[in-house]
Amino acid sequence: MQVNNGYQPKIVAFCCNWCSYAGADLAGNNRLAYPENVKIIKVPCSCRVNPMFILRAFQRGADGVILCGCHPGDCHYTSGNYYTRRRMALLFSMLNFLGIEKERTRVEWVSAAEGAKFAATMNEFCETVAALGENKRLEDLRCKR
Amino acid sequence: MRKCKTDALDAVFAEIAKSSLLYIPTDTEKGAEYKKWSDGMKMSNALNTVRSPKDFFFPQTEDLMEFKVNGKEIEVIDTRSEKEDFVVFGVRACDVKSFEILDRVFLIDPCDSYYANRREHSTIVSVACTRPVETCFCQTFGIDAAAPEGDVSCWKTDSEVYFKANTPKGEALLAKLEGITVDADDKDVTAQQEKTREIMKKLPLAELSADKFGAGKTEEFFNAPEWDELSESCLGCGTCTFVCPTCQCYDIKDYNTGHGVIRFRCWDSCMYSDFTKMAHGNPRLTQKERFRQRFMHKLVYYPSNNDGLFSCVGCGRCLAKCPISMNIVKVMKTIGKSE
Amino acid sequence: MQKVTSELLVKKASELLENGTVTRVLGWKKGEFSYDLTPAVFESGEELIKDFVFSDFSGANFSKYLIKETKKADGKVLVFLKPCDSYSFNQLLTEHRFDREKVYAIGIPCEGMADVDKIKKNVGDGIIDIISDGDRIVVKTLYDGDKEIAADDVKAERCIVCKSKKCVAYDELLGDNGEVIDSERFDEVEKLEKMTDDERFAFWQNELSRCIRCNACRDVCPACTCEKCVFDNPKSGVENKAISDSFEEKMFHIIRAFHVAGRCTDCGECSRVCPQGIPLHLLNRKFIKDINEFYGEYQAGAEIGSRAPLVNYTLDDIEPVDAVKKGEADNA
């Protein structure tokens, strides 16, 4: 998909193994298009993602980072995503506090049955980030040499 | 000796900046810092800058080279750029002395070409102190705050600024200022020096002596029981080493950019747990040993290798900045058993 | 000026040493000047009389030293806890970081500590002596004779917005216990929240760019007690000492503050020790403020054994997207 005169943002999507990754699979099976510049990283549970993962993704050139997990209440490990929810609420609020565009980060709950939601979310997230342009505020210049 | 009116200092700066980069200490909200001079910038009257000027020659982080990976090819890139000439104006006597201490580390064979490159392109204009503070103890190490070294020495009186060139580089700089400065005698300078030296005698640390320390004293002090109590509350942070004008240890690291490697060096601190870490682990396992390393280096090891020259200049930065207020003065008094 | 005197504390400590209750005393040791006290361990009454000082410059929080000190030897160590120190003490106990049985804690009231940098700014260079006299401070200077200033004008920031005068942990209390204060400590944070993204970014870029990666903020923090910090692990790929890119500074400070989120008692030691004067406490307070707003009021260290907000949850917690918006809504 091309947005904004050819500019394609780099998006990193952390997806939990049990719901969201399967959701992405379903999107594929159903031939639902979402941008190829979304790079999925599979994690056992959304709560495996610690704040450093998010920052590291930005450091390595991501323009937006999205974290997908099972819907609250549906975690394969019962409560993992409840912890994720608190962690990311605080982290994203802190990033906002440091003046980093809040639209660059997102948490979305996507079940294994929600292939359509996965594709729609990614399309919409990609457009939002593309509108913001390149990530300048959390970039590591060394990685761009 | 040459002089100009204090008001003409702006013109002096402008003249110097015509032919080279110029850095002067200027006041910020958080104390004085060296900044690149631009029109209208005022020189700070603070005694010293928060960070030492060693960054000019030995920056906290500096890239050494870069490797680019292209298929099976590795390209090695020299990231060094030819340095522009620069002038650092307003360096205090203690900090000027620190350059000599760094020179003895970096310029001996094998010469550190990164450091040497910067040194060659620099001209140092020192400025004499008139209001030393309680944390000053440069006289302990034989430094005269009223007669700073450097390529050009400079004295600021109420209405005038005096310049004296000490080196060919300094003479070249003063030659550029000939239109702004006039010949002068040293009457006012001598008077100011006498006054400053009187004040120095009255400072709280005026009596501090380094006589007990120096080359060859390793065995005498290494196993002193006092190291335990002195290092007891040390946090193991790097504040003292990073504000110090003479600390010169560094680490060389590689940073993987994902498509290549940047090899850089950065200041290291003997207070850190990974200092001089080797394949077998760390040679100094406790904070006491790391703490001892710093002070033994300054007071014994360095003098042993450098004709008795101590590697402390008494600038007082560590006295002001240590989170737990442990510092070289307390160490010298306790280990040297003097009040 | 402090209400409890050095003499009283020395007397108390000497008694406890003599009757064998404790074998060592953690205290502030006299320095070269009046403001440079060093945390030290005292083992006899003579040492105490000679060097123990409790004054407006006894800011150092001893709680973290207890981890090392209680492992050293048998016998109890005496520690003096100012109200804010007592919160750190409790928090460390909650995390099982030291053996409570090996500590004898005396709670002492605190009237707020002085900030020597503020004094220097106020009276200029060359401080020979500083004498507290009620709510006035007399500073003897090298160049301008004696100068008198109001103690309130040179109070440390963390003490101006003191959150509690109440000692929450002690074996013995000197004087009356104070109260938790409805403080204005979040005002600065709110001021930043009201700025635009660009202004906030510029503010933090300016502040954090001064960081020299000395790690003092981490090393002094009573909540930072990992045996090995992630930033000291060369294999983690993060920088522990180089100022190699402004990204690294942001990452370090975000992660430092995040790792103590919910456990930080807001003792303010990080900002006190920063050699570059970076207001690090604002990052910690932002987390505390958010936690209070999102998950209900929580004060780390107020009681032993409380469950920290980040290892807890409810079924209807705020969603991250709404959490970020909540800050925005307050701005309007």
Query: Tell me: the pLDDT tens digits for A118-135?
Result: 999 999 999 999 999 999
Name the domain count of chain C.
3
Query: Angle formed by the axes of helices C246-259 and C281-295, to 10°?
Result: 50
Nearest CA in chain C to A81: C313
pLDDT band at C124 (very low <50, low <70, confident <90, very high): confident
Judging contacts by C-beta atoms under 8 Å, the chain B residues touching residue A60 are 258
Judging contacts by C-beta atoms under 8 Å, the chain C residues touching residue A55 are 250-251, 254-255
Shortest Cα distance, chain A CAs vs residue C153, angstroms: 29
pLDDT at C328: 65
Shortest Cα distance, chain B CAs vs residue C93, angstroms: 20
What Cα–Cα distance (Å) separates residue A20 from each residue in A25, A44, A45?
9, 11, 10
Place of tokens 């890239």: B63
What Cα–Cα distance (Å) separates residue B324 from each residue in C37, C81, C176, C264?
7, 17, 29, 20
User: The tokens of B180 are what?
Assistant: 């702004």
Strand partners, B152: B125, B165
CB contact under 8 A, B237 and C215: yes
Interface test with A, best of C229, C254, C282, C312 (most A CBs within 10 A): C254
pLDDT at C326: 83
Interface test with B, best of A60, A139, A142 (most B CBs within 10 A): A142
| Half-sphere exposure (Cβ direction) of A49: Cα atoms closer than 13 Å | 30
Q: In this structure, are strands B61-70 and B73-78 parallel, antiparallel, or unpaired?
A: antiparallel
Between B and C, how many CB-CB pairs are < 8 A?
A: 124
Shortest Cα distance, chain B CAs vs residue C146, angstroms: 15
Of C40, C143, C243, the CB nearest to B232: C40
C54 and C199 inside one domain: no
Whether C158 is in a domain gets the answer no
Q: What digits encode the pLDDT tens for the residues B63-102? A: 999 999 888 899 999 988 878 999 999 999 999 999 999 9
Of B46, B133, B236, the CB nearest to C142: B133
Strand partners, B25: B34
User: The tokens of B265 are what?
Assistant: 């060096």
Judging contacts by C-beta atoms under 8 Å, the chain B residues touching residue C47 are none
Query: Percent of chain A scored above 90 by pLDDT?
Result: 92
- Residue whose C-alpha is closest to residue C309's, from B117, B262, B29, A82: A82
| Half-sphere exposure (Cβ direction) of C63: Cα atoms closer than 13 Å | 33
Supply the DSSP string of B158-179, one letter for each residue. SSEEEEEE-SHHHHHHHHHTTT
CA separation for the pair C246, B56 (Å, rounded): 19
pLDDT band at C329 (very low <50, low <70, confident <90, very high): low
Residue type, C66: L
Measured between CB atoms, does A83 come within 8 Å of chain C? yes
Measure CA C197 to chain center: 29
Judging contacts by C-beta atoms under 8 Å, the chain A residues touching residue B66 are 145
Q: What digits encode the pLDDT tens for the residues B254-265? A: 999 888 999 999
Chain C, 9 to 28: residues with Cβ < 8 Å from chain A are none
CB contact under 8 A, B238 and C216: yes
Report, as an integer, the average pLDDT of B23-39.
Answer: 94
Shortest Cα distance, chain B CAs vs residue C124, angstroms: 10
Report, as an integer, the average pLDDT of B123-145.
Answer: 96
CB contact under 8 A, B30 and C277: yes
Q: What is the DSSP letter of A63?
A: S
Q: What digits encode the pLDDT tens for the residues B165-185? A: 999 999 999 999 999 999 999
What residues have CB less than 8 Å from B308, skipping those under 6 apart?
Answer: B214, B215
pLDDT of B138 > 80? The answer is yes
Measured between CB atoms, does C174 come within 8 Å of chain A? no
CA separation for the pair C318, A89 (Å, rounded): 8
Quote the Cα angle for C253-C256-C261, to 5°: 120
CB contact under 8 A, B258 and A145: no
CB contact under 8 A, C198 and A97: no
Sign of CA dihedral B29, B34, B35, B41: positive
pLDDT of B216 > 60? The answer is yes
Q: Are C324 and A93 a contacting pair, CB within 8 Å?
A: yes
pLDDT at B83: 83
Q: In this structure, are strands A11-16 and A38-43 parallel, antiparallel, or unpaired?
A: parallel
Shortest Cα distance, chain A CAs vs residue C306, angstroms: 17
Report, as an integer, the average pLDDT of B27-46.
Answer: 93
Of A3-12, A128-137, B29-38, C318-327, the least confident:
A3-12
* Touching chains, A (3+ CB pairs < 8 A): B, C
CB contact under 8 A, B325 and C37: yes
CA separation for the pair B314, B97 (Å, rounded): 10
Place of tokens 């009255």: B202
| Half-sphere exposure (Cβ direction) of B249: Cα atoms closer than 13 Å | 18
C208 and C310 inside one domain: yes
Residue type, B160: E
Measured between CB atoms, does A93 come within 8 Å of chain C? yes
What residues have CB less than 8 Å from B191, skipping those under 6 apart?
Answer: none
pLDDT at A134: 94
Whether C322 is in a domain gets the answer yes
* The CATH number of domain A11-135, selected from 3.40.50, 3.30.70, 3.90.550, 1.20.140: 3.40.50
CA separation for the pair B156, B158 (Å, rounded): 7
Nearest CA in chain B to C127: B134
Sign of CA dihedral B307, B313, B319, B322: negative
What residues have CB less than 8 Å from B215, skipping those under 6 apart?
Answer: B300, B303, B304, B307, B308
Q: Domain extents for chain A? A: 11-135
Q: Are A58 and A9 a contacting pair, CB within 8 Å?
A: no
pLDDT at B82: 78
Quote the Cα angle for C44-C49-C55, to 5°: 120
C54 and C192 inside one domain: no
Shortest Cα distance, chain C CAs vs residue B144, angstroms: 18
pLDDT at A40: 97
Domain ranges, residue C192: 187-331
Of B134, B199, B239, the CB nearest to C214: B239
Measure CA A81 to chain center: 15
Q: Are B100 and B166 a contacting pair, CB within 8 Å?
A: no
**In whole numbers, what is the pLDDT of chain A averaged over residues?**
94
State the ipTM, two decimals: 0.93
Measured between CB atoms, does C53 come within 8 Å of chain B? no
Q: Are C251 and A55 a contacting pair, CB within 8 Å?
A: yes
* Touching chains, B (3+ CB pairs < 8 A): A, C
Measured between CB atoms, does C327 come within 8 Å of chain A? yes
Shortest Cα distance, chain C CAs vs residue A31, angstroms: 29
DSSP E strands in C43-184: the ranges are 77-81, 103-107, 127-133, 136-141, 146-150, 172-173
Nearest CA in chain A to B67: A145
Chain C, 240 to 279: residues with Cβ < 8 Å from chain A are 244-248, 250-251, 254-255, 257-258, 261
Ramachandran angles phi, psi of B183, nearest 5°: -65, 150
pLDDT of B106 > 70? The answer is yes
Q: Are C29 and C68 a contacting pair, CB within 8 Å?
A: no
Report, as an integer, the average pLDDT of B221-227.
Answer: 96
pLDDT at A4: 54
Q: What digits encode the pLDDT tens for the residues A84-103? A: 999 999 999 999 999 999 99
Q: What digits encode the pLDDT tens for the residues C259-315? A: 999 999 999 999 999 999 999 999 999 999 999 999 999 999 999 999 999 999 999
Strand partners, C191: none
Of A28-32, B129-133, B239-243, C132-136, the least confident:
C132-136
CA separation for the pair C316, B164 (Å, rounded): 75
C196 and C321 inside one domain: yes
Between A and C, how many CB-CB pairs are < 8 A?
A: 123
Report, as an integer, the average pLDDT of C128-151.
Answer: 92
C264 and C210 inside one domain: yes
Place of tokens 């490159």: B117
Burial zone of C307 (CB within 10 Å; 0-12 exposed, 13-18 middle, 19+ buried)? exposed
Helices (H) and strands (E) counted in chain B, each on its own, are 12, 12
- Residue whose C-alpha is closest to residue B134's, from B202, B192, B32: B202
Shortest Cα distance, chain C CAs vs residue B272, angstroms: 9
Interface test with C, best of B199, B237, B269, B319 (most C CBs within 10 A): B237
pLDDT of A1 > 50? The answer is no
pLDDT at C1: 75
Q: What is the DSSP letter of B223?
A: T
pLDDT at B139: 96
Judging contacts by C-beta atoms under 8 Å, the chain C residues touching residue A128 are none
CA separation for the pair C223, C200 (Å, rounded): 27
CA separation for the pair C35, C40 (Å, rounded): 15
pLDDT band at B20 (very low <50, low <70, confident <90, very high): very high
CA separation for the pair C164, C173 (Å, rounded): 15
Report, as an integer, the average pLDDT of C140-156.
Answer: 94
Measured between CB atoms, does C75 come within 8 Å of chain B? no
Sign of CA dihedral C168, C169, C173, C174: negative
The contact set of A with B (CB < 8 A) is: 60-61, 142-143, 145
CA separation for the pair C155, C165 (Å, rounded): 15
Chain B, 249 to 308: residues with Cβ < 8 Å from chain A are 255, 257-258, 260, 262
pLDDT of C331 > 70? The answer is no
Chain B, 67 to 126: residues with Cβ < 8 Å from chain C are none
